[in-house]
């Protein structure tokens, strides 16, 4: 459905965005090396906080919007591009739409410890010196080219939100993480 509304060129931009985000963050974590940095004695190991499942992992869409499922092809290509592990459950993807136009996309990554994935993304951006904006229950991380992505935890899932217009990301994130 997303590929029908966005068109092949815009869909490619979404998939490339997902790939670049995953690749860029992994390169920031490892300092551009293939092996992750060695731990030091000052590293703190966090204990996983049990998550609480929610009935609607994406929450209620903003007024006059709907969250529509994307095609399996689009979902699968996003999972592959982000190098996501579906051991914790199937990754879901929705298009935030209004009158048939897609404002942005939401990706749900289920996990027993969704905060770990969120923390990894935010900490990587911080180590890279990126200016991170905090919202209520989420962080907005800048990407190359002026794009941004919101990341937060809802229930037992990490939610990633992207949009072609950077101003749309916090708008959607406010709705997703409000409840």
Domains of the chain: 2-33+50-176 (3.40.1000)
Q: What is the pTM of this model?
A: 0.74
Q: Three-state SS string across the chain, please?
A: CHHHHHHHHHHHHHHHHHHHHHHHHHHHHHCCCCCCCCCCCCCCCCCCCCCCCCCCCCCCCCCCCEEEECCHHHHHHHHHHCCCCCCCCCCEEEEEEECCEEEEEEEEEECCCHHHHHHHHHHHHHHCCCCCEEECCEEEEECHHHCEEEEEEECCEEEEEEECCCCHHHHHHHHHCCC
pLDDT tens track for 55-106: 888 999 998 999 999 999 999 999 999 899 888 899 999 999 999 899 999 9
Residue 179 has a pLDDT of 66
């Amino acid at each position: 459905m997303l590929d029908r509304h966005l068109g092949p060129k815009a869909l490619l931009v979404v998939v490339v965005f997902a790939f670049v985000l995953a690749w860029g963050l992994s390169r920031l974590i490892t300092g551009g090396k293939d092996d992750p940095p060695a731990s030091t004695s000052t590293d703190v190991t966090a204990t996983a906080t049990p998550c609480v499942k929610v009935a609607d992992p994406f929450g209620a869409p903003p007024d006059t919007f709907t969250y529509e499922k994307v095609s399996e092809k689009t979902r699968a290509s996003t999972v592959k591009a982000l190098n996501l592990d579906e051991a914790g459950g199937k990754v879901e993807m929705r298009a935030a739409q209004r009158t048939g136009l897609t404002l942005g996309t939401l990706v749900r990554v289920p996990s027993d410890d969704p905060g770990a994935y969120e923390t990894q993304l935010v900490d990587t951006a911080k180590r890279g010196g990126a200016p991170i904006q905090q919202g209520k229950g989420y962080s907005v991380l800048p990407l190359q080219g002026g794009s941004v992505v919101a990341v937060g935890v809802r229930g037992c899932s990490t939610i990633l939100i992207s949009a072609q217009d950077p101003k749309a990301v916090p708008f959607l994130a406010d709705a997703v993480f409000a409840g």
